[in-house]
Structure 1
Amino acid sequence: GDEERRIIEPAMVQAGEVGIRVEGPFPADTLFIEAAKGKYDGVVAMYHDQGLIPVKLLHFDSAVNVSLGLPVIRTSVDHGTAYDIAGKNKANEGSMKAALKLACELATSPMKQPIKRTQPQTKPENKIQTT
């Protein structure tokens, strides 16, 4: 589709206008190689699995899910519920510890350059209609 031109590029321009350095879009098959080497501070993936496959491959026991755009800080483990090992003393607590630590860091570290929140401009083609 035309999402890159219509949505992603304007978002990148807007981020640049508030001082956020952004690059891309890049193909996911090579982007994460450079990200793993430390070239980027972060990666925004357009699709859930596109981002989670490399993250879980590299950091399964320490990855953290962060929900952005909320009025509160929200972090969670970055793996499934693991009901199959519940109550069996087999779970690795690494991701839970990392999620709690990051939430504490975010809560106690003021942003140097807070990003002004703007209301999304909803166009008719972006609205979800229910019946």
Structure 2
Amino acid sequence: MSQRGGYGTPIYAVHEYELREGVTPEAFERAVAQAIRRNLFSLPGLVQFRFLKGIKGERVGRYAALWVFENREAWERLWGPLDNPYPKDKYPESWKIWEDEILAPLLDRDPDRIVYTDYVELRFEGDEAG
């Protein structure tokens, strides 16, 4: 079986959000809706995003976001190369608003310290998606 996964394939970023004590789920969901209305996620190369709430497993009732970037090149233009990520002052302005104004008051930690994982999509010969 041969797999491909590199600069031309999508990047999937999963961000896990832990709410600060006293922050209600409704407050978090209102904040996300506000960010969407403000068009804060209109970033070059970000082709899709979804906010998720756990219904079974380790993270029941807890939140995550799935960010889908066109490819690694687009992802690196926003965040820098894997071995030398950009400092926060180089983040897109709308992302700084998302993190500093919207997320920071709601989370139990600095938004740059959340648990996250970035994934490259694997594609296999004969895979319809590939």
TM-score class normalised by the smaller sequence: under 0.3
Which structure has the greater CA radius of gyration? 1
Q: Which one has more relative contact order, counting CA pairs under 8 Å at least 6 apart?
A: 2
TM-score for both structures, normalised by structure 1: 0.24
TM-score for both structures, normalised by structure 2: 0.24
Higher normalized strand content (fraction of residues): 2
Higher normalized helix content (fraction of residues): 1
